[in-house]
Structure 1
Amino acid sequence: MQKKAIMQVSILGSKAFDSLEYHLCDSLRTLGHTASILDVSDVIPVSPKINYWGSRFIRSYDRLLSQRLADKIVNHQPDLVLVVYRNLHPVLVEQIKRKLPAVPVVQINPDALSNLEKQQIIAADFDCYFSKEPYIVDFLRNKAGRNAHYLPEGFNPRIHQKPPVEKVVAEWLTNIDVLVFGNLYAYRARMVEQLIQAGIKVAVYGTKGPYISLAVESVFRQQYLTGAAKNRLLYGAKIVFNNFHYAEITSVNQKYFEINGIGGFQLCDYKPTLDEYTGVPADQVTYRTMEEAIDKIRYYLAHATERHELAQQQYQHFQQHHTFDRRVVNLLRIVDAHLLPAYAESGT
């Protein structure tokens, strides 16, 4: 395969604004490449929920969907295929590689260990795997014999932007002590409930899950945060409390990078990868128990200057080191080093 300075990249995943796929596509275009997103609705026009359950329980539908997606990608004649979805039939990769043998097909897994579905990405013969979770990379590489690489998530500096106002003013306008956002599943809700019981004023944004207590229900604001509202609220909250999914073994979520990239003050679970990411001592902006989290929240609510300084240090560090543009450059470098020479040697 002859290396091209400008590549045509097909991304298979969600077209939703602020999704990982959206940001990968935006970064590729910013870097000068041509990129497009293909979603399942482009080949079978049904709702995501119907498609998911149909694929999970109807084998013929599962296979047909992936075959149609493969045909669509082949028609685009890309130089690189990036697959973000984890629940597609392995025939997808098989068919793309049979018809486009010189095109690398790469899997990017943005989720925690518990979301590997039926392990389709392991069964499929991807040329390369990327994961934010070192534990997943280790077992894919050293147990499953896959070409797996570590790639953290990041933030998009063209979407996740610091509002043009001093933080002290933004906090006064927003009037939120502690903000929590995301999918409010039971584990996260239990942690929020403990904050409420400790007398901390909490505002919760996102998607409400089942089994939520009345206390948590009372602080839930029915708004999913994206765009300018997300920037304004994350920056304006005095503290953004980021409690990772319990299946994050050593990694963090995309929100971790977004909050710091926007300039918010973040308090999150301690994970080993944080020592690699953070621009300030990790123990100043993390907790290991809820008791520690409550103590630190009370401390930082009483010490505004200190939390503003920490937030600014993180903001500057993340602007320099943790954008999606840098992640995509790294991804393409790895693909170039590990895959393109092999294709060139094979004469394809």
Structure 2
Amino acid sequence: MGVAGRIAPEQGMLRDIKVFYVKEGFTSLDDGIIEALQGLVREVVPLHESQDAAQLAAEQRPDLVIVLNGTRFPLSQVDALRNLGIPTALWLVDDPYHTDISSVSAPHYSFVFTHEINCLSFYRALGCGRVHYLPLAAGRSTYFPKKADITQHTDICFIGNGFVNRIAFFDRIAPFLADKKVLIAGWWWDRLTNYALLKDKIKLNADWMPPGETSSCYNGAKIVVNLHRSDDDPSNFNSRGIAGHSINPRTYEICATGAFQLTDTRGDLADLYVPEKEIATYASPEEFIEKAAYYLEHADERVAIGLRGLRRTLEEHTYRRRLAQLIQTVFSG
């Protein structure tokens, strides 16, 4: 299956429609989506999930309601919107980790878009008639190349929660990180067995670091690490054990800053970036250490890979392209 985001043009005239967008609370995603919609349609109305979208829709008659994830958006609202004859589109960006929740909500929507290619058959089996693969992207007004403050310069940077697989991984590489300038930011990193060894490198309980600061940290790092959450983490709502094949939003956001990214692999990564040319990969802690050590010593190669990843992101992985494809799909009949 081709990548939906490559079909829609980046430029084009505004479509004469009004769109309600129901935010999830992921600032970096919400801001990127709203900005993209503002360049694609006549009017965008951002809404909080607690607002009475159905009542507003009855008064304002939007042509489409887009809901991000929808974990806290009442299904009574979705049903009321559809009863008004207004198309509803659910874009699921946490698959497969929250599929126990989305399995209940998805059938209520006119259209289901998921960033997880491995969930297409899952939603179709639930009776969702119009299910589409729509990868994530990077918000260009937040994630872009810029000069980072000297205090944000690091050898290696990782920003994200300390899920079980990440804790195990970083415990394995802790001796390698010990003599490097490292930033690890997020919740639960005090669960590390080697916490004392890395304590001065950890910004604990900082998962909600503002996107602008996150972008600056990416820009200041020689190597930005990406490590996907495991499918069976105890915090997941994925009782069916659906495997994750698609890359996370962090993949695009890191590349959008022009930073060098060293990431674990997912099934669709090679359809979106060229491994070892636009993004570097590892399959084990030992390979990570080998590649990190190499690229710390080979700045020219590191910078070249980061720039190629940046170019690919700007050309193909923007929210404008993703939302243009979503809108095209909804209104193509």
Q: What TM-score comes out, normalization by structure 1 length?
A: 0.78
Correspondence 1:1-348 to 2 at 5 A: 5-15=15-25, 17-18=27-28, 20-42=29-51, 68-84=52-68, 85-98=70-83, 100-101=84-85, 103-118=86-101, 119-122=103-106, 124-142=107-125, 144-163=127-146, 165=147, 174-199=152-177, 201=180, 202-208=182-188, 211-213=191-193, 214-215=195-196, 216-222=198-204, 223=206, 224-247=208-231, 249-279=244-274, 281=276, 285-337=280-332, 341=333
SS of match in other structure, 1:198: helix
From the two aligned structures, give the one with the greater helix fraction.
Answer: 1
Letter in 1 for 2:183: A
Query: May I ask how many residue pairs the two structures share in their alignment?
Result: 301
Going from structure 1 to structure 2, the CA distance change for 1:73 and 1:217 (only over 3 Å counts) comes to: farther
C-alpha displacement of 1:313: 1.0
Partner residue, 1:56: none
In structure 2, stretches of 5+ residues that fail to align are 1-13, 232-242
* Aligned AA (1:230): T
Cα distance in 1, alignment partners of residues 167 and 149 from structure 2: 24
| 8 A contact 1:280–1:310 mirrored in 2 | no
Cα-to-partner distance string for 1:1-27 (whole Å, 9 max, x where unaligned): xxx932211112235632x22221111
- Report if aligned partners of 2:279, 2:309 keep a CA contact under 8 Å in 1: no
Distance 1:207 1:193, change over 3 A: same
Alpha carbons 1:109, 1:131 under 8 Å: kept: yes
Q: Is the 8 A contact 2:32 2:319 kept in 1?
A: yes
Identity %: 23
Q: Residue 260 of structure 1: SS of its match in structure 2?
A: helix
**Alignment-derived partner of residue 10 in structure 2:** none
CA distance in 1, matches of 2:249, 2:279: 20
TM-score under structure 2 length normalisation: 0.81
| Root mean square deviation, CA, Å | 2.6
Cα distance in 2 for residues equivalent to 1:171 and 1:308:
18
CA gap of 1:136–1:29, structure 2 versus 1, over 3 A, is same
User: 1 or 2 for the larger relative contact order (CA 8 Å, sep ≥6)?
Assistant: 2
Q: Which runs of 5+ in 1 are unaligned?
A: 43-67, 342-348
Measured in 1, the distance between the counterparts of 2:150 and 2:296 equals 13
Deviations 1:140-169 (A, max 9, x none): 235644311000000121221111x5xxxx
1:298 Cα shift?
Answer: 1.1
Match of 2:44, SS?
strand
Structure 2 residue matching 1:33: 3-state secondary structure: strand
Deviations along 1:103-147, one digit per CA (max 9) or x if unpaired, are 21111000131212433223x421110011111112223564431
The question of whether the paired residues in 2 share the 8 Å contact of 1:155 and 1:261 is answered with yes
Q: CA deviation at 1:229?
A: 2.6
C-alpha separation between the residues in 2 aligned to 1:155 and 1:175?
Answer: 22
Alpha-carbon contact 1:86-1:116 (below 8 Å) kept: no
On the 8 A contact 1:130/1:149 being kept in 2, the answer is yes
Higher Rg of the two aligned structures: 1
